[in-house]
Chain A
Amino acid sequence: MSAQPLPSNDNDVPITTIAPREEKPTSAKKLPPPEKPSDVRRRSHVILSFWLIVLLLGLPIWWKTTTIYRADLPLEDMLEWADGKACRPVFPLRISIQATSLQDQEAQNLLRLTQHALDDLNDFAGHHLRLQLGDEKQDPADNGSALTIRLTPGEGTTATLDPYEPILDITYPLNTTPSPTASSSALATYIASQLRTTFAEEQATISYLLSTNSMPSEHRPLGLSPETAESLAKRTTRSLKYAPTYHLTFSLFTSGPLPSSWDIETAIEEYMKPVLDVLSPIHNFTIDTQVQLYASPGVQNQVLNKEDLSSFINAAEWPLSPSIGGAPTINFIVFVGNQTIASPSPDVAPTSHSWLIPQWGTVYLLSLPGDTSHVAAATLKQPLLTFTSHLLSLTGTPESGSLPLRLSTLARIRSADLLLRASSTLGSLARLAMALPSISIPSSVADGVTKTMSHLRLACDNLGGTEGLAHARIAEAEAERAFFEKSMVGQLYFPDEHKIAVYLPLLGPVAVPLVMGLINEIKAWRKRRREKAEKGAEKKEQ
């Protein structure tokens, strides 16, 4: 027994659904009887019931679910940041003078004169050196000044940078102290020129950074000579992009079976850790090490020429991980073999053992006696010291000056760099939001922008200090996150034509009977009204 018996089973029912052919002409001519008013009303109700759902439920839902959420972005402010109008990068550097041997009066006078001389020399308003009289009891590192000048009377006029503290020792002959009435002093001029030399590199770097960014011209420093600009550009390309964390990979590659172990941990602890510690306010470092035997370099020549150096790394076979994940990797490779680097001129014996690969790391060629199976920490001293100095240039540390000065300069350069990058990201985001009116902007992006701007403001107010760097770092991270918001990236390209392809396949077929039904119903209604009016007119005439 099937649920739906076929019609053929029901022969006893005198019904066929096919009309006899000969009846067709007559039935075609015959007009159907007029519809009953109740049927007409019922049909209107059916059509109305569908349209009520479409209008009362469908349209509001369509409106609510397809409205693109666009969080309000402070576009004006963002563009102001990008154009550098919101923040004028100023690095006020305080320099204290400790002159224990001078009278207060004399010291004040000297300070005034030196400041005058400095202001005369300075052509870049953003980088401003301000002198103050230091308190001799205070520790020079703690008083917030970038540099302390220690004036001591001595034989001649000399200036030396303290290698461990940010201190410039200046000796002067006793007779050069300026008289209270003098309008210029040789000592003051000397100090000023010393200071200027000390900070020349930082000043050049910052003005280079500003000039490569879209800073308005009135803030842009002038007088950057093409040679300086070129060398700065070289250095900038050499150093890695700023990241809060760098991953250091130390690799020992040997051309033969030996050596197979090394005392890298001790060596790092001893020779590199101090510098890493000093860098720690600016960067974090993670470290791993590896040893690879029978490693063949990309170039087999005994003597490596300048051209060979770039292809020495055997990228195909050496397990050097690229920067996967958050932190970029810096590679330090010790290669044990018998290859040497050709010296630039043939009459000088080859002396160099290492070279730096821009934005990547360093290779150090270490030649050892053939039977060494273990590389001692002492043997690694020279390679690691080389690596350390290369690390500094890979992180973009300036080259001149004492280490403490170089590091504080690095912090200032990096904060300026981050500030500019975050600002330009904000600008790109604002331009993107304006260029694509149909892109959705989730509230997380607006949050990120707000955070970026508040941290940028804080960074801008504290430029030159460690706080400024921290804020600039957060601002840059937030700006990047806001710009690369996942739900926005997917919609970057979604033109309006696509919407037709989305709506039409389903809603088109649904809409045809709905719309046709409505149109027919309206037509029939107007016809009925006209007929009624005609009937009414006829009645009136009668």
Chain B
Amino acid sequence: MDGGKVTVGRTAALYAGAAVLRLAIFTLLPDLPDLLTGRVEISTPVTSFKRLQEGLFLYNHNVSPYDGGVYHQAPLFLPLFSLLPNALSYPIFTYLLYIAIDLLSAGALWRIADSGEAGSSALFTSPRRERRWNGFVIAAIFLFNPFTIATCLGRSTSVFTTCAILHAIAKAVSGAPFSAMVALSFASYLSMYPLLLLPPLVLLCFDRQRPERANKSAVSFATTHVPVVLGVLGLLFGMSYLITGSWEFLSSTYGVQLTLSDLTPNVGLWWYFFIEMFDSFRSFFLAVFWLHLSCYVGGLSVRIRRQPLVVLTLLLGIFAIFKPYPSISDTSLFLAMVPLYRHVFPLMRYSFVIAAVIMYASFLGPAFYYLWIYAGSGNANFFYAITLVWGLGQSLLVCDLMFAVLRDEWELERPEMAGKEIRQI
């Protein structure tokens, strides 16, 4: 598995293989992309390609894309996609764009893996760091993950966010804090929630500064780099304002995520809860859910201060479970980061259970959705129950990975305890 030397030929073969696989599916099964586009597991109200088409149509006819309340995505997608030929008559260009984005993400992941940050960060070096996969394997795992492929085929716009987040991390580990901040701003602009990754990302940038121009104080480092994010975000908002001609996009994109006004079912935990919620408590529980999502940032950044990349990985996992409109695309991003921790896999306790639960949920989820929506022999509880199982599987993975990482840290302090059973006191 730990492939030997990575040659240019092998790299090209991997990328070509991934691209050819996607193109083959696009061309041989022409109905599949549209089928996947309509699946709630892939397309959420804030990432759906169908809704993007609707917004694009309105935009091209000089109507505000947010009229009609269907389009909830960032305005800058519109000029990008209107540059491409019509997705219905020449779908190949859209396919190529999405394939390119996937390959770019894989490239960023490859750089992260090759940096070795996962095994040895500035403040901590794992005794097991030798047992790791190289960038080729990690990129291959990402590119051939069925969830990634399904997201690409479903043309969900969350792939852009994935790409931006991975590039932000890749830039951070390669000692380019400014580019990392710009990339994170793009991710936040597209989906809002990546803004919560800012504290651990700043820590990661701080730890991986180039020695020749290192800033010794974390506070002054943060005060010089956080404004970059704000500045780029302001610039992007300004451009969006110029494109759409009003600030309406703020409430239609971020407002929808904050208030969950579109209750289309998805694989997350919010929609069912807020269907059942008393109206007078709705705003309170929205705030509770958002606070719950964001309260992990501080705690994890403090606890695993020595390995900021772990914090980023765990947060991506938590977001994939608890964000308002999650899809399998968020899971695929989390699952792309997890193999970086190959060296702590032996410390994980529930790998089999996790794999079983995630596969169980991925097969039964579509079936239960079918029973509810099409067959009518089930109800909403069926689908919600399976999304609970899905969330359970992912949270098990998050917890187990966290346990393994912490145990790895702990064993460095107490080498005599390696391999013994431990118990929390």
Give A23 to B305 CA distance when docked, in angstroms: 33
Across the interface, do A10 and B355 meet the contact criterion of CB distance under 8 Å? no
Give A36-65 as 1s and 0s: 1 = Cβ < 8 Å from B's Cβ atoms: 000000100110011011100110011001
Contact B299 A46, beta carbon cutoff 8 Å:
yes
Q: Which residue of B lies closest to A11 (CB)?
A: B346
| A-contacting residues, B129-179, CB 8 Å | 131, 137, 140-141, 145
Q: Give bound CA distance, A15 to B137, whole Å.
A: 24
Quick check: A1 and B354 within 8 Å, CB to CB?
no
Give Cα A494–Cα B281 distance, bound, in whole angstroms.
12
Are A45 and B284 closer than 8 Å at their CB atoms? no
Size class of the A contact interface (CB-based, 8 Å): 35 or more
A305 interface residue (CB < 8 Å to B):
no
Q: Specify which of B283, B298, B338, B418 is in contact with A65 (CB 8 Å cutoff).
A: B283
**CB atoms of A23 and B284 under 8 A apart:** no
Q: In this assembly, does A506 line the interface, its C-beta being within 8 Å of a C-beta of chain B?
A: yes
**Does the CB pair B288–A46 fall under 8 Å?**
no
CB atoms of A65 and B345 under 8 A apart: no
Closest to A31 in B: B425
B216 within 8 Å of A (CB atoms): no
Which B-chain residue is minimally distant from A39 (CB atoms)? B413
If A14-B419, A53-B291, A506-B285 touch, whether A46 touches B303 (CB-CB below 8 Å) is yes
Annotate B337-363 by CB proximity to A: 1 below 8 A, 0 otherwise. 011000001111101101100000000
Q: When the two chains form their complex, are residues A4 and B419 in contact, meaning their CB atoms are under 8 A apart?
A: no
A506 touches B288 (CB 8 A): yes
Residue B292 interfacial (CB < 8 Å): yes
User: With the chains together, A19 CA to B1 CA distance in Å?
Assistant: 29
B338 adjacent to A32 (CB under 8 Å) = no
User: A512 to nearest B CB, angstroms?
Assistant: 14
Per the bound structure, the CA–CA distance linking A507 and B285 in Å amounts to: 10
Asked if B421 contacts A17 (CB within 8 A), the reply is: yes
**A3 adjacent to chain B (CB < 8 Å):** yes
Q: Is the beta-carbon distance between A7 and B338 smaller than 8 angstroms?
A: no
**A3 near B338: Cβ-Cβ < 8 Å:** yes
User: A351 contacts the other chain (Cβ, under 8 Å)?
Assistant: no
A2 within 8 A of B: yes
Which B residues between 254 and 293 are near A, CB-CB below 8 angstroms?
278-281, 283-285, 287-288, 291-292
A494 to B137, CA, bound (A): 58
Task: Name the distance in Å between B277's Cβ and chain A's nearest Cβ.
Answer: 9
Closest-by-CB residue of A relative to B287 is: A61
| Interchain CB contact under 8 A, B287 and A15 | no
Contact status of A4 and B354, CB under 8 A, knowing A10-B345, A17-B349? yes
A491 CB–B CB distance under 8 Å: yes
Query: CB distance B288 to A10 under 8 Å?
Result: no
Specify which chain A residues have a CB less than 8 angstroms from the CB of B285 in the assembled complex.
506
Q: Which residue of A lies closest to B404 (CB)?
A: A17
B405 within 8 A of A: no
Q: What 1/0 mask marks residues of chain B from 285 to 313 whose CB sits below 8 Å from any chain A CB?
A: 10110011011001101110100000000
Alpha-carbon distance between A463 and B338 when the two chains are bound, in angstroms? 81
A502, CB-defined interface residue at 8 Å: yes
Q: Which residues of B contact A65 (CB under 8 A)?
A: 281, 283-284, 287
Contact of B284 among A13, A15, A46, A62 (CB under 8 A): A62
B397 within 8 A of A: yes
**CB-nearest residue of chain B relative to A47?**
B299
Nearest neighbor of B359 in chain A, beta-carbon distance? A2
Q: Which residues of B lie under 8 Å from residue A17 when comparing CB positions? A: 347, 349, 419, 421
**Per-position binary interface string of chain A over residues 7-34, scored 1 when its CB falls under 8 Å from any chain B CB and 0 otherwise:** 1001001111111000100010000110
Assess whether B420 is interfacial by the CB under 8 Å rule: yes
The yes or no answer to A440 lying at the interface (CB within 8 A) is yes
Set of chain B residues within 8 Å of A349, measured between Cβ atoms: none
Interface status of A516 (Cβ within 8 A of chain B): no
Report A39 CB to chain B, min CB distance, Å.
9
Check: A537 CB closer than 8 A to any chain B CB.
no
Knowing A49-B302, A53-B291, A57-B291, say if A7 contacts B284 (CB, 8 Å): no
Interchain nearest-CB distance for A302 vs B (Å):
57
Contact of A66 with B299 in the complex, beta carbons under 8 Å: no
Provide the residues of chain A in CB contact with B339, threshold 8 Å. 3
Check B421–A4 contact: CB distance below 8 A.
no
Given the known A-B contacts A17-B421, A65-B287, are A10 and B292 also in contact in the complex, defined by CB atoms under 8 Å?
no
Q: Are B288 and A58 in contact (CB under 8 A)?
A: yes
CA distance A305 to B129 in the complex (A): 105
Q: B280 touches which one: A10, A13, A57, A440 (CB < 8 A)? A: A440
Would you list 28 pairs from A and B whose C-beta atoms are within 8 A, ordered by A residue?
A3-B141, A4-B338, A4-B348, A4-B397, A5-B351, A6-B355, A7-B345, A7-B346, A7-B348, A7-B351, A16-B419, A17-B419, A17-B421, A18-B421, A27-B420, A46-B298, A46-B303, A50-B295, A50-B298, A50-B299, A54-B295, A58-B287, A65-B281, A65-B283, A65-B284, A68-B280, A502-B281, A506-B288
- Mark A residues whose CB is within 8 Å of B: 1-7, 10, 13-19, 23, 27, 32-33, 42, 45-46, 49-50, 52-54, 57-58, 61-62, 65-66, 68, 440, 490-491, 494, 502, 506-507, 510
Give 9 nearest A-B pairs by CB, closest first.
A49-B298, A19-B421, A65-B284, A61-B287, A65-B283, A53-B295, A45-B302, A15-B419, A13-B346
Residues on B lying within 8 angstroms of A by beta carbon are: 1, 131, 137, 140-141, 145, 278-281, 283-285, 287-288, 291-292, 294-295, 298-299, 301-303, 305, 335, 338-339, 345-349, 351-352, 354-355, 397, 414, 418-421, 425
A3-B339, A46-B299, A61-B291 given; 7 more Cβ-contact pairs under 8 Å = A4-B351, A4-B355, A5-B351, A6-B352, A7-B351, A13-B346, A53-B291
